[in-house]
Homo-oligomer: A and B are copies of this chain.
Amino acid sequence: MSMSLQAEEEIVVKGNAPETPCIIIDSSVVDHNIREMAERIRRLGVKLRPHAKTHKLPEMAARQVEAGAVGITVAKLSEAEVMADGGIADIFIAYPIVSEKKLRRAAVLSRRIRLILTVDSLEGARRAAAVAVKEESTFEVRLEIDSGLHRTGVLPENALALAKEIHALEGIRLTGIFTYRGAMLDGKSTMDLRAAGLEEGRLMAVTAQALRAEGLPIADVSVGSTPTSVFAAEVEGVTEVRPGTYIFHDRMQAAYGVCSLEDCAATVWVTVVSRPSAELIVVDGGSKTFATDVQPNNPPLHLQGFGHIMGAPDAVLERMNEEHGMIRIGAHHPYEVGDVIQIIPNHICSTVNLHNDVYVTEPSGALRKTRVAARGMLE
């Protein structure tokens, strides 16, 4: 989607509340969150490459770059294509691409922007190298390290051997290593974010040293995550961080203590469609409106329900079907059919992915409807 098309799809909604359910994003809170993270990371002498999965909006990526980010991170090739069309010129796809067709598309994209790919296996790297050679191109790649989350990535102790083999491949230029660990420590989620961040940073710094000692040109040492970035960035040898959620924040980050609920820029607006009993209201947003990937009552956060009900913090969004949200409330709450309620979702990234459009506040106070150009990009 080109910038001009996106601009055409923007509709100014002045003085009219949008139909619910919808997401409304407070621009001034976004600006504050972008500026604060940029300053904290800059003070530590580290580069910031935010993950765009939270907002999925080229305009928000542009604001992050304007505030000092070196570029952005995405997970999928199709997201990179949308963001490049939106004017972003430096993109890291933090996800292994292994299909030949996608690698050919990546080669095309790498001719117009700085594109960095991910490798985490020799087989994957060979596939990328084969396409690069065929396309008379070179892929800049980073090797993914598994620092404890146990999904993609090579274990640190196996990184050197693999990095050497990858470095030897024609068509591949290995320039860095990266990891994503989030709030994980020793395979379990933790509330000690400082310890998790420092451990993540140290593991990556020493891994980079081991690779450089063998002559591998590791320039970038990149670590992840809104909850751990500012701690990992303290470690000498870490060169880049890739937080995502901080731009909007959400209830999960507030529960981690990373932000306050007032820092949450994106809220879901829903309408009460039924009050079948004094203790229950039903709103017009369920699991098609609020993501269900962060379930209530799980350690370490033990979130009550699927979101924070603004104005009624004791109310609990305790059950959802696809279109029904069941909120248990005290009988003293005066909600009636037709009332509009704002909810801070548990996980904003996956919630934004459910919405075709979001509304962004303008300095004038008007709401601007904008298409979420990079949502639903699965390829």
**Chain A interface (Cβ within 8 Å of chain B)?**
19-22, 53, 75-76, 95-99, 101-102, 120-121, 123-124, 127, 146, 150-155, 271-276, 280, 282, 284-285, 287-289, 291-293, 295, 319-324, 326, 336-338, 349-350, 353-356, 376, 378-379
Compute how far the CA of A278 lies from the CA of B178 in the bound complex, rounded to whole angstroms: 23
Is B19 a contact of A101 with CB atoms below 8 Å? yes
Is B288 a contact of A123 with CB atoms below 8 Å? no
Given contacts A293-B322, A378-B285, contact A150 B19 (CB under 8 A): no
Q: Which of B19, B101, B121, B150 contacts A379 (CB 8 A)?
A: B19
Q: Which of B21, B98, B273 contacts A271 (CB 8 A)?
A: B98
Is A336 a contact of B123 with CB atoms below 8 Å? yes
Known: A19-B99, A121-B337. 20 other contacts (CB 8 A): A21-B378, A53-B322, A96-B274, A98-B272, A98-B338, A120-B274, A120-B276, A121-B274, A123-B338, A150-B326, A151-B324, A152-B274, A152-B276, A287-B291, A288-B350, A288-B376, A291-B292, A322-B349, A353-B354, A356-B376
Chain B min CB distance to A345 (Å): 14
Given contacts A95-B273, A121-B274, A152-B276, contact A292 B289 (CB under 8 A): no
Is A322 a contact of B337 with CB atoms below 8 Å? no
Chain B min CB distance to A57 (Å): 16
Chain B residues with CB under 8 Å of A150's CB are 276, 280, 326
Compute how far the CA of A97 lies from the CA of B323 in the bound complex, rounded to whole angstroms: 12
Compute how far the CA of A142 lies from the CA of B307 in the bound complex, rounded to whole angstroms: 31
Chain B residues with CB under 8 Å of A320's CB are 293
Chain B residues with CB under 8 Å of A319's CB are 151
Chain B min CB distance to A35 (Å): 26
Chain B min CB distance to A102 (Å): 6
Chain B min CB distance to A119 (Å): 10
Is B99 a contact of A20 with CB atoms below 8 Å? yes
Compute how far the CA of A324 lies from the CA of B180 in the bound complex, rounded to whole angstroms: 12
5 contacts between A and B (CB under 8 A): A20-B379, A96-B274, A151-B319, A154-B276, A322-B349
Compute how far the CA of A378 lies from the CA of B288 in the bound complex, rounded to whole angstroms: 7
Compute how far the CA of A323 lies from the CA of B353 in the bound complex, rounded to whole angstroms: 12
Chain B residues with CB under 8 Å of A291's CB are 287, 292
Chain B residues with CB under 8 Å of A271's CB are 98-99
Compute how far the CA of A235 lies from the CA of B376 in the bound complex, rounded to whole angstroms: 43
Compute how far the CA of A299 lies from the CA of B291 in the bound complex, rounded to whole angstroms: 21
Closest-by-CB residue of B relative to A120 is B274
Chain B residues with CB under 8 Å of A75's CB are 322-323
Compute how far the CA of A353 lies from the CA of B271 in the bound complex, rounded to whole angstroms: 21
Chain B min CB distance to A191 (Å): 20
